[in-house]
Amino acid sequence: MSAEAARFRFVSANRRVREDRRFVAGHGRYVADIALEGMLHVAILGAQHPAARILSIDPSAALAMPGVHYVLTGEELAGATDQLMNGLDTPNVRRFPLALGQTRYAGEWVAAVVADTRALAEDACEKVKVSYERLPYLTQAEEALDPSSPPVHPAHGSNVLLDKQFVWGEVDRHFAESPRQLSFRVTWGRNSTVPIETFGVVASWDPWSEMLDVWASIQMPKYPDQIARALRIPANNVRVHHDVDVGGSYGVKRGIKHTVLAAHLARRLGRPVRLLEDRLENMRGGDAHGPERIFDVDVAFDDAGIVRSMKMRALDNAGAYAGRAPFQLGKPIGAIVGPYKIESVAYRAQSVTTNKAVQEAVRGFGQSPTNYAIETALDKVGLACGLDRIEVRRRNFIRKEEFPYLIPSGTRYDSGDYHTVVDKVLAHVDYPALVAERDRLRAEGMLAGIGIAACLEPSGGNSAFEPLLNEKNETTTWMESVRINVDGTGCVAVTIHTTSSGQGHETLAATVVAEVLEIDPDLIRIVRPDSLACLPSNTPVGSRMAIMMGGACFHAAQKLKAKLLRIGAHRLGLAPEAARYQGGSVGAVSGGQALDWAALVNIAHRNFHLLPPDTEPGLESTHVMQVPTGTSLPKDGRVQMYPCHSFEFHLVLVALDPVLGKPEIRRYVIGHDCGTVINPHIVKGMTLGGIAHGLGAALLEEFVYDEEGQMLTQSFMDYLLPSSHEMPKVEIVHHCTPSPFTVFGQKGSGESGYLGAPAAISGALNDAVAEFGISFDKLPIRISAISDAVAAARVRSSEETTS
């Protein structure tokens, strides 16, 4: 498919993002803005200890306070609801919204207090008396592998949730045959997406219609089903309202435990109930942390720097409950070799429980940590072979003409042109000048380094990793739907069936439908029906909406266009092939008389007698789209994962004072290829935001637990999000390699930037300190750690020279 922007009217045009108007005016509608008559407020009592048996909970003093309505405990809730969904086949790792009998991490929810105001609920929380018997605990993943470590879930028998070994290709032979090998360990610190809006939910139960209404800042597939299942009510008694703006998510807004808790309370008390996490609840007990992972990597390569085989062991600290954490070890299997032609891979995925907060899906679903490990390997291979780090990547890249390219773990990459993107970036920055600038900084006594990362963003999200890691799971359907309706006055309404958290889905849908129907996008209304009026959606996960919602819009609009064409041809007495659709009108291919939009609409809505035979009246079309690839079950540990693979190439120059150790990003360039761009503003924003997020992961952000199992970074004073001061001006170099699997050639971009920034920044710092023979192998790389390492290296080298 050709991708010249000129081919499109609205796709790829620099059009405004329609959602922005309401937000700049302060008229977004977030969950915290929803106030229902008689609404009660919840505050949460968190566990003090990392592990303890709950001996008793005495709510009497709290309940005696005026304005306090209820104190909910784990026992009541577990009796009234089913356990929360568990992705793995680990039936004895049970999870309820409130701790049941035992707490498993400091901050875990122990009781919920309901009161007239949030402040009162917090007052009452302080009065709930819980007596605990402390239990042994652990926080380190490696400790969890020890069978004698204190079990987080005694019924499960060990702390190992998942330990799966995959071997794709002849790893042993390739290692034996390779002249060179190296091994290393890198560690990805526990961080997350940390949206500025915490999670919130409002639930209301109408006993007369037996309807549960839910408003939430949610981004989660199958949310209504999960609520219904946990509450043991039919799913058509749950109505999730999608006209709620979500204040950022990037994966984590999946407050199912919050929702089940609030919904139960709403039913129990007969009043609407609101649970808005405050920042402390969010950080400690919101169950929205991200991967925390140790990688042990071995690579086999030759003197030319060609990597033939890789062994990777990824050990992830899932925290206290399984949640979706283990699957974040599975998704990267779909791009386990990155953009490189590595022939064989052995991959061991290990997920363990510890007494830390629970993980949720984080932007990239495990891909960014994996990319960090792969890119570190390429840097080290380059260093070992005395090769430029860009050259070593070039030599290993899959070549343009080799696509579609099948990687050892079973995924076929759609398309790419990595060499060209790299060339474009190098030309843009004038690479020799960048190197000269680094050397000039060094000559001035600074430490300076160039960082490089070449990464993939698998996109178009399916869940092929689920059956891969859990044979009992046979999900291969992963769909998205759109409905278009043209009313009797000719106005167009498009329904989309999910919430959005800043991705601009309304703009996306309007752009695509307008493109196909050749009408003005600004005249299209986008509607988000509640879940009962919805068609199937899997929500914006796995960087999928440009592909899936865009695709569904395209097909629905094509169907509508076909119907308009049939109606027009029939009315004009033309054979369908002799008619053509243009700009909302239908006329003869040969020219002459045509029927305009109003006339066609009029026939469809009012003149049944003029409709072609067997045609439904009205103008409506629906499309339920299945993900283009990744639709069959795994075989022999191999599976086709996501359909599309965007590419990003990061080049960054970092400078720092060797004693202060504070990295300053002097130049940041990213080459980005996500196929055909539907809205350039949106893609740019995602990319810049992703880089900022990656910068945080590389240098600033971490959920740190101390020896006592207590979290040290509970507030924004200690968990540090990048501000405008830390973000450099980023230069974006575009390239477009269309995907053959999508309607316009588009690929995903929702995770862009984040997937390579941590690797690139870490690489730059390692380049900066390479002269001392040291490197950093753990993220985030803190200022003090840099300075301390450099100081120690200087002491060592001065000792060596004097001895």
Partner 1 sequence: MKPAEFAYVRPASVAEACAVLASNPDARVVAGGQTLVPMLAMRLARPSILVDILRLPELAGIAEEPGTLVIGATTRQVEAERSSLVASRLPLLAAALPWVGHPPTRNRGTVGGSLANADPSAEIPLVAVALEAEIVTEDEGGRFAMPADDFFIGPMLTAAPEAGLLTQVRFPVWSEPCVGVGFHEVSARRSDFAFVSAAAQVALDPDGRCTRIALGIGGVGDRPVRLDVAGLVGTRVEGDRVAQAVEAAAAVLEPTSDLHASAAYRRRVAILLGARAIGDAVADAQEKGAGR
Partner 2 sequence: MKVALLVNGAVREVDVEPRKTLLDTLREDLSLTGAHAGCEHGVCGACTVLVDGAPVRSCLMFAVQADGLDITTIEGLASAPGELSVLQDSFCETHGLQCGFCTPGMILASHALLEANPAPTRADIAEAISGNICRCTGYGQIVEAVELAAERLRLANAPRAAAGGRP
Instruction: Reduce the secondary structure of 544-597 to three states and give it as a string.
Output: CHHHHHHHHHHHHHHHHHHHHHHHHHHHHCCCHHHEEEECCEEEECCCCCEECH
Residue 778: DSSP 8-state: E
Beta strand segments in 354-500, E? 405-406, 412-413, 447-459, 479-486, 492-495
Question: Could you tell me how many residues make up the chain?
Answer: 803
Q: Are the C-beta atoms of residues 317 and 293 closer than 8 Å to each other? A: yes
Number of residues binding to partner 1, judged by CB under 8 A? 30
Token output for 323: 């949640």
- Cβ at position 650, least distance to partner 2 in Å: 13
The one of partner 2, ligand FES, partner 1, none whose footprint includes residue 150, by CB under 5 to 8 A per kind, is none
Q: How far is CA 521 from the centre of its chain?
A: 28
Residues 240-279 that bind partner 1 (CB under 8 A): 278-279
Smallest distance from the beta carbon of 276 to partner 1, in angstroms? 10
State how far the Cα of 551 lies from the Cα of 1, in Å rounded to an integer.
15
User: Which string of x and - marks every residue 670-689 that binds partner 2 (by CB under 8 A)?
Assistant: -----------xx-xxxxxx
Cα–Cα dist 246/226, whole Å:
19
* Strands 524-527 and 492-495, bridge-based pairing: parallel
Residue (126 or 430) nearer to partner 1, CB: 126
> Nearer to partner 1 by C-beta: 118 or 778?
118
Nearer CB in complex with partner 1: 167/727? 727
Q: Which of residues 67-126 bind partner 1 (CB under 8 A)?
A: 118-119, 122-123, 126
Q: Does 715 bind partner 1 (CB under 8 A)?
A: yes
For residue 603, the surrounding DSSP H or E stretch is helix 597-606
Indicate the residue among 11 and 599 with the shorter CB distance to partner 2.
11
> Residue 248 or residue 680: which is nearer to ligand FES going by CB?
248
Q: Which residues contact 748 (CB under 8 A, 6 or more apart)?
A: 457, 458, 459, 460, 461, 542, 543, 544, 545, 546, 547, 642, 644, 646, 674
Q: Judged by CB under 8 A, which stretch of 513-521, 587-595, 611-619, 713-721 contacts partner 1?
A: 713-721
- Residue 700: name its binding partner from partner 1, partner 2, ligand FES, none (Cβ under 5 to 8 Å by kind): partner 1
**410, 465, 779 from 636: Cα distances, Å:** 9, 13, 34
SS3 state at 770? helix
Q: Which of 290, 339, 416, 502 binds ligand FES (CB under 6 A)?
A: 502
CA 757 to chain centre: 15
Given candidates 720, 770, 774, 793, which one binds partner 1 under the rule CB under 8 A?
A: 720
Please identify which residue in 80, 235, 280, 611 interacts with partner 1, judged by CB under 8 A: 280
User: Which partner from the list partner 2, ligand FES, partner 1, none does 15 bind, CB cut-off 5 to 8 Å by kind?
Assistant: none
Report the residue from 6, 24, 433, 443 that binds partner 2 according to the rule CB under 8 A: 24
CA dihedral (578, 581, 582, 585) positive or negative = positive
Instruction: Report the partner that residue 791 touches, choosing among ligand FES, partner 2, partner 1, none (CB closer than 5 to 8 A by kind).
Output: partner 1
Site for partner 2 in 153-212 (CB under 8 A): 193-198
Considering beta carbons, is residue 460 or 502 the nearer one to ligand FES? Answer: 502
Q: Which of residues 164-203 bind ligand FES (CB under 6 A)?
A: 196
State the DSSP string of 64-111. TSTTEEEEEEHHHHHHHSPPPP-SSS-TTS---SS--SEE-STT-EEE
Interface residue with partner 2, options 456, 586, 691, 760 (CB under 8 A): 691
In the bound complex, what is the minimum distance in angstroms from residue 714's beta carbon to partner 1? 9
Cα gap 228→244, rounded to integer Å: 20
Per-residue binding letters, 780-799, with partner 1 (x by CB under 8 A): --xxx--xx--x--------
Residue 21 binds partner 2 (CB under 8 A)? yes
By C-beta, is 107 or 339 nearer to partner 1? 107
- Over the range 437-464, which residues count as b (16 or more CB within 10 Å of their CB) and which as e? bbeebeeeebbbbbbbbbbbbbbbbbbb
506: left (phi over 0), alpha (psi -120 to 50) or beta: alpha
How far apart CA 56 and CA 572 sit, in angstroms, is: 80
Q: Which residue has tokens 């690839």?
A: 629
Please, what is the minimum distance in Å from the beta carbon of residue 194 to partner 1? 15
Among 248, 404, 618, 658, binds ligand FES (CB under 6 A): 248
| 3-state SS, residue 497 | coil
Site string for partner 2, 272-311 (x = CB under 8 A): ----x-xx--------------------------------
- Binding to partner 2 in span 694-753, by CB under 8 A: 715-717, 721-725, 727, 729-730, 753
The contact set with partner 2 (CB under 8 A) reads 16-17, 19-28, 30, 32-33, 35, 119, 193-198, 245-250, 276, 278-279, 501-504, 681-682, 684-693, 715-717, 721-725, 727, 729-730, 753
The contact set with partner 1 (CB under 8 A) reads 118-119, 122-123, 126, 278-280, 659-662, 700, 704, 712-713, 715, 717-718, 720, 722-723, 725-726, 782-784, 787-788, 791
The contact set with ligand FES (CB under 6 A) reads 196, 248, 502
